Chains A and B, each alone.
Chain A
């Protein structure tokens, strides 16, 4: 079974509008962390935001926020006021608690395209 599922292969958003990128996860570990990374066409992976399974509040980092619904096992990324530079691949990843190697499992990604 897929541990991280991103169901939207590609999405369009109008510049200055908000967009939500979906991520669902599967784990039986009560302790886990969820990460979102951005990958521009240049190839590097840029860390955006983190949500811990015990965090009481949804994470926010500037224009990025995480809609964390623990019971539904979803951790959707919300980008407010989209900019042309937000056009990129976005990956959701999970680190499960019992993980001495600090390893991540990645989803298949969503390609976001911002229209001017």
Chain B
């Protein structure tokens, strides 16, 4: 069973606020990912990390930033939230010793609404 956690699960916030979405995994995975997904639509990769102190931008341009100071922790920050940031944000990790196919494990997601 995957052990990857995201908080908060739901967030409603006003325009201009700074927010941080938390993601933690206890599987010791090197690689971590953030995806953005509009309801019923495909997932778009916005950030990924190969390991500690490594962060890269994904295919979809995003105003968010990420950091990877510890293996288990990969937070995503929006300095000034806007209504266009309203979406679901999914965190994932991979490259553990305990996977057969090197599949990505996903957290439960954070549903963000910016008013």
Q: Which residue numbers of A lie inside 8 Å of B, CB to CB?
A: 33, 35, 37, 42-47, 50, 52, 89, 91, 95, 100-104, 106-109, 111
Number of B residues with CB within 8 Å of any CB on chain A? 27
Measured in the bound complex, the distance between the Cα atoms of B87 and A114 in whole Å is 26
Across the interface, name the chain B residue whose C-beta is closest to A49. Answer: B101
Measured in the bound complex, the distance between the Cα atoms of B70 and A47 in whole Å is 26
Min CB gap B69→A, angstroms: 19
B contact face: mostly helix, strand, loop, or mixed: loop
Tell me whether B41 and A103 are in contact (CB under 8 A): no
Across the interface, name the chain A residue whose C-beta is closest to B95. Answer: A102
Tell me whether A89 and B40 are in contact (CB under 8 A): yes
B98 close to chain A: CB less than 8 A: no
Residues of B close to A89: CB separation below 8 A? 40
Measured in the bound complex, the distance between the Cα atoms of B48 and A100 in whole Å is 12
